[in-house]
């Protein structure tokens, strides 16, 4: 390998030696700068930036040690090799040369061949250093670029992900700001009916590939929740979307909750996340919410199973969901936090509302390092009035609003098996601007009347089953079995809007094909506290302006009214 032409600085006070060296070095094809003392050498270095220095140790004005120190300082990160020219032989003097920043020695008298070899060797080192520096700068630049991209992506994503209600008073969560890039996703949204959907997901992998599925998932979650779709409709949509867009091998372990404050139940679907827990505050009982399904994005639509487990709740009951990052958090000895430690925190807990903080404490006692891939969320069943629910946001289509019309719908067995008519009906009714402020109450009433008509009327289920927790589960499994094989029956909705001088009125009548019930018994009953059934109709009575039953027990009629002055009485927001 031939050496490239270098500029070499020679600092040597003896004129004869200087001449000799200059001749040797220029014959080897290099450009020579010559200085007769350290100070001159430093000045020449600053002016000409030579790539290599041959430096005599003993010189007047400024000696070679000091000059070497200053030149190294001046060169900064770049390697400018300095070879000391010395007749010194005692070890201590040679050590001083190295300490001053020298890279090698050359003993006098000079040997041309050794000098050439040393210049070549030092040039190799110099190039290596320069390549390393270039690559380091490139990596730093790329990293900076990546962080900027992540910041932008995070800012965009935060707008989508945090459009929900994670800040609601009954939710506590722990998630690092960059958890998204560990593939963790936490979403929560109020349903139009006033309940809440909560979603914790954990994508396979890390970094952008893991974050990429989060956006479409959040959109489906918020979009469909706002339109009044149920969890059983949202989950298959999420699954299909992920299956369609993600490569094989990337999927999302997830748990979704559908919490109903009024009915005091929670529906749970869990696919692939570690056990979550239902913690009953009063008794301290702990029910594991076990993964029963494959993660989202694995199954195709035909074989996806959105079957949920349903649990009755009382005020103060807590649901705790976590990602596997929590259980896999390691301490300095490389042990994992693991389920045993988590369960020990549960066992030691005396005050349910301290549980979340106790888990956090236990985790930080266990491992001093900050964890950036741990996600945990706690949702408490509270009295809905305690939640500061923001008004529903429906985009206005202009000022003209249809206020005088009526419509009737009949949904028959085949449709009832697969289709939830509520989002469709709600969207239609919300074309009436004056009703928008009551959207929550309206949806709740529609939902209650529909499930009443479907479950008791069409499917013939007896709500007395729901007296205890076991019956509760039986009721919901019976519901899905009967619905799956439904051949006959209908649910009818009659909507009638009447303008009035100072506002207007919606009359809503729901009928079904069932055998009917005794309206007097229903209207007269008072709700026993702690009962798991009968909340639905109580709710309808409270939310609607007026509520009456047809004589044959097959139909219910409710009324909503609005006044054109007030924005509407938002009964539901409380």
Partner 1 sequence: MTISTQLSADEQELTIAIQGRFDFGAHQAFRDAYERVESTPKRYLVDLQGTTYLDSSALGMLLLLRDHAGGDHAQVRLLNCNSDVRKILAISNFEQLFQIA
Decide: is 219 part of the binding site for partner 1 (CB under 8 A): no
**CB hemisphere CA count around 123 (13 angstroms):** 16
Nearer to partner 1, 248 or 551 (CB): 248
By CB under 8 A, residue 440 contacts partner 1: no
* Inter-residue contact 372 to 182 (CB < 8 Å): yes
Between residues 304 and 443, which has the closer beta carbon with respect to partner 1? 304
Total interface residues for partner 1 by CB under 8 A: 20
Stretch that binds partner 1, among 20-28, 64-72, 243-251, 445-453 (CB under 8 A): 243-251
Residue 221 lies near partner 1 (rule: CB under 8 A): no
Pick the binder of partner 1 from 273, 416, 539, 561 (CB under 8 A).
273
> Which residue, 205 or 503, is less far from partner 1 as judged by CB?
205
Examine residue 341 and tell whether it contacts partner 1 (CB under 8 A).
Answer: no
Of 12, 123, 184, 202, the one binding partner 1 (CB under 8 A) is 202
Q: Which of 206, 244, 397, 546 is close enough to bind partner 1 by CB under 8 A? A: 206
Residue 364, classed as helix, strand or coil, is helix
- Residue located via tokens 């040690």: 65
Q: State yes or no: residue 250 binds partner 1 (CB under 8 A).
A: yes
Report if residue 276 touches partner 1, rule: CB under 8 A: no
- Using CA atoms, how far apart are residues 500 and 429, in angstroms rounded to an integer? 17
Q: Provide the minimum distance between the beta carbon of 217 and partner 1 in the complex, in angstroms, as a whole number.
A: 16
Contact 514, 456 (CB under 8 A): yes
Residue 398 Cα distances to 2, 6, 394, 423, 433, angstroms: 80, 77, 12, 21, 9
Spatial separation of the C-alpha atoms in residues 321 and 379, rounded to whole Å? 9
Name the burial class of residue 155, with classes exposed (0-12), middle (13-18) and buried (19+) by CB atoms within 10 angstroms of its CB: exposed
Choice between 144 and 339, CB closer to partner 1: 339
Judged by beta carbon, residue 206 or residue 417, the one nearer partner 1 is 206
Q: State how far the Cα of 185 lies from the Cα of 164, in Å rounded to an integer.
A: 13
Question: Of 254 and 453, which has the nearer Cβ to partner 1?
Answer: 254
What is the SS3 assignment for 429-454?
HCCCHHHHCCHHHHHHHHHHHHHHHH
**Cα–Cα distance between 185 and 560 in angstroms, integer?**
39
Least separation, in Å, of the C-beta of 174 and partner 1?
20
Q: Which is nearer to partner 1, 60 or 207 (CB)?
A: 207
| Cα–Cα distance measured from residue 324 to residue 303, given in angstroms and rounded to the nearest whole number | 26
| Cα separation, 506 vs 443, whole angstroms | 13
Examine residue 109 and say whether the peptide bond preceding it is cis (omega within 30 degrees of 0): yes
Q: Which is nearer to partner 1, 38 or 295 (CB)?
A: 295
Within 291-330, which residues bind partner 1 (CB under 8 A)? 291-295, 298, 324
Contact segment (CB under 8 A) with partner 1 among 9-17, 260-268, 270-278, 493-501 equals 270-278
Decide if residue 205 touches partner 1 (CB under 8 A).
yes
Which tokens hold the place of 474? 């039986």
Token output for 217: 């998932």
Of 80-88, 106-114, 247-255, 394-402: span binding partner 1 (CB under 8 A): 247-255
In a 3-state reduction of DSSP, which class is residue 545? coil
Q: Which residues bind partner 1 (CB under 8 A)?
A: 202, 204-206, 248-251, 253, 271-274, 291-295, 298, 324
């Amino acid at each position: 390998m031939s050496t490239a032409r270098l500029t070499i600085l020679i600092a040597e006070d003896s004129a004869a030696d200087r001449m000799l060296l200059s001749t040797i070095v220029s014959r080897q094809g290099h450009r020579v700068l010559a200085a007769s003392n350290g100070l001159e050498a430093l000045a020449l270095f600053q002016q000409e930036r030579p790539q290599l220095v041959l430096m005599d140790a003993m010189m007047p004005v400024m000696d070679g040690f000091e000059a070497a120190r200053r030149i190294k300082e001046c060169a900064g990160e770049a390697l400018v090799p300095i070879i000391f020219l010395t007749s010194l032989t005692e070890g201590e003097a040679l050590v001083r040369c190295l300490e001053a920043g020298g890279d090698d020695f050359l003993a006098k008298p000079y040997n041309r061949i050794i000098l050439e070899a040393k210049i070549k060797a030092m040039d190799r080192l110099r190039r290596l250093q320069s390549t390393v520096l270039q690559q380091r700068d490139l990596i730093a630049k790329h990293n900076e670029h990546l962080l900027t991209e992540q910041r932008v992506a995070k800012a965009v994503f935060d707008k989508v992900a945090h459009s929900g209600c994670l800040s609601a008073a009954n939710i506590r969560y722990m998630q690092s700001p960059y958890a998204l890039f560990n593939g963790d996703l936490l979403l929560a949204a109020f349903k139009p009916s006033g309940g809440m959907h909560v979603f914790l997901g954990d994508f396979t992998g890390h970094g952008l590939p893991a974050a990429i599925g989060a956006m479409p998932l959040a959109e489906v979650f918020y979009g469909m929740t706002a339109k009044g779709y149920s969890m059983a409709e949202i989950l298959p949509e999420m699954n299909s979307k992920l299956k369609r867009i993600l490569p094989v091998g990337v999927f999302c372990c997830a748990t979704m909750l559908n919490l109903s404050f009024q009915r005091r139940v929670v529906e749970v679907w869990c696919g692939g996340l570690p056990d979550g827990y239902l913690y009953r505050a009063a008794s301290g009982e702990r029910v594991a919410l076990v993964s029963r399904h494959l993660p989202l994005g694995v199954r195709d639509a035909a074989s996806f199973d959105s079957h949920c487990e349903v649990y009755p709740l009382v005020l103060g009951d807590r649901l705790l969901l976590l990602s596997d990052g929590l259980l896999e958090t390691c301490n300095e000895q490389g042990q994992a936090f693991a389920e045993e430690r988590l369960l020990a925190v549960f066992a030691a807990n005396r005050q349910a509302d301290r549980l979340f903080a106790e888990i956090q404490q236990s985790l930080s006692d266990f491992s001093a390092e900050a964890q950036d891939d741990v996600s945990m969320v706690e949702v408490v069943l509270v009295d809905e009035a305690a939640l500061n629910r923001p008004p529903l946001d429906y985009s206005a289509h202009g000022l003209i609003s249809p206020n005088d019309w009526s419509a009737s719908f009949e949904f028959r067995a085949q449709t009832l098996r697969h289709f939830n008519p509520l989002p469709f009906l709600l969207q239609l009714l919300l074309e009436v601007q004056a009703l928008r402020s009551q959207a929550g109450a309206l949806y709740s009433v529609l939902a209650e009347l529909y499930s009443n008509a479907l479950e008791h009327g069409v499917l013939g289920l007896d709500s007395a089953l729901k007296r205890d927790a076991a019956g509760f589960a039986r009721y919901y499994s019976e519901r899905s079995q009967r619905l799956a094989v439904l051949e006959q029956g209908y649910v009818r909705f009659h909507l009638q809007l009447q303008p009035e001088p100072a506002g207007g009125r919606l009359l809503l009548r729901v009928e079904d094909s069932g055998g009917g019930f005794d309206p007097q018994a229903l209207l007269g009953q008072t709700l026993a506290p702690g009962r798991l059934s009968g909340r639905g109709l109580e709710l309808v009575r409270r939310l609607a302006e007026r509520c009456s039953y047809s004589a044959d027990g097959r139909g219910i009629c409710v009324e909503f009214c609005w006044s054109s002055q007030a924005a509407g009485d938002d009964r539901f927001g409380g």
